[in-house]
Amino acid sequence: MKVDRIIWGLLFLFVGGVILLDNFNVIEFYWRNVWRFWPVLLIVAGVNLLVNRKNSPIGGYVTIAVTVISLAFLFWKGQQPAQSWWFGDRIYSKIENDDWEVDHKAKMVYSEAMPSVTPRTANLNFNGGGYKFSLEGETDSLLFAESRIKKNALSYTSIITDSVATLEFSTNNRKNNSWNVDGSNQLKLYLNKNPEWNFDINFGAGELDMDLKDYRVKNFEFNGGATDVDIVFGNLVPLLNVVVKAGVSDIKIKVPFDSGCQIVTSTGMSMRNFRNFKKVEDGLYETEGYAAAKNKINIKIEGGLGNFEVQRN
């Protein structure tokens, strides 16, 4: 009995089945919950090493049974929005919608006034742990933000010249050893629409929700682990470059129907849904009339396991 092949087959069936059920709205699956329990896979591997050293049928059956039970557990946990769990000696509770009542956390406000000369370009960088990152709307300031995290766990810096503003958030790992993936760490953003924006966002696990259709975005780069990502782009610049690198993730990107769009992708065993795109070659997709389009969006996607969608509105 080739147990290793059976285990890999079960893993692929699990991931593919979950993605299909989620896409058809049969279930609502939260990959970040599964990511939290990744040590279960180490247990499966350990059981295989202990009981199947001589390729005995009984050992093989035990390993398969443990694998099935583990995947059933992950399937159950993945359908449950995270509630609360322990991190050291503190408990952090799940935030639902706009409920900002979180134990041991403070609401922090960050504001960057608009300079007397509006910067032509604004760069927004973020580097941090697990959290929910969302764009809530516009502001007359250059940037306004609210966070609900452990006090002093988030650092903010800015460098502004006559033409360029660079705004950066980063987590202080020494003070913030309790970041988690349940959405209880949040950063709500309000941005000015006048500059051309460049985004560089990096985080391990969590959620990203940004509707940028009314913003002039030139470059957008996202690098994440186990994430739920929902981004909407507009067509207010001639060329928009988008780079998305993610692990076990659910990535949804929406682009204007009247913009030419090209997708270059390397996504392993992930599900791809590029509706209204034609396949030019392996890993390359384009909309009809892309070469002659006045406004273009170039998207590069790299990922492991998960769901990757690009839709035209």
- What per-residue confidence (pLDDT) applies to 83? 45
- What per-residue confidence (pLDDT) applies to 53? 58
In the 3-class helix/strand/coil scheme, how is the chain assigned residue by residue?
CCHHHHHHHHHHHHHHHHHHHHHCCCCCCCHHHHHHCCHHHHHHHHHHHHHCCCCCHHHHHHHHHHHHHHHHHHHHHHCCCCCEEEECCEEEECCCCCCCCCCCCEEEEEEECCCCCCCCEEEEEEEECCEEEEEEEECCCCEEEEEEECCCCEEEEEEECCCEEEEEEEECCCCCCCCCCCCCCEEEEEECCCCEEEEEEEEEEEEEEEEECCCEEEEEEEEEEEEEEEEEECCCCCEEEEEEEECCEEEEEEECCCCEEEEEEECCCCEEECCCCEEEECCEEECCCCCCCCCEEEEEEEECCEEEEEEEC
Distance CA 60, CA 120 (A): 64
- What per-residue confidence (pLDDT) applies to 55? 62
- What per-residue confidence (pLDDT) applies to 91? 34
Profile the chain (313 residues) by mean pLDDT over runs of 10 residues.
76 82 75 73 76 67 85 83 42 38 64 93 88 91 87 85 93 50 73 97 86 97 87 96 88 95 84 90 94 96 84 91
- What per-residue confidence (pLDDT) applies to 58? 76
DSSP state of 136: E
Model confidence over 2-35: pLDDT tens digits?
777 787 888 888 888 888 777 767 777 777 677 7
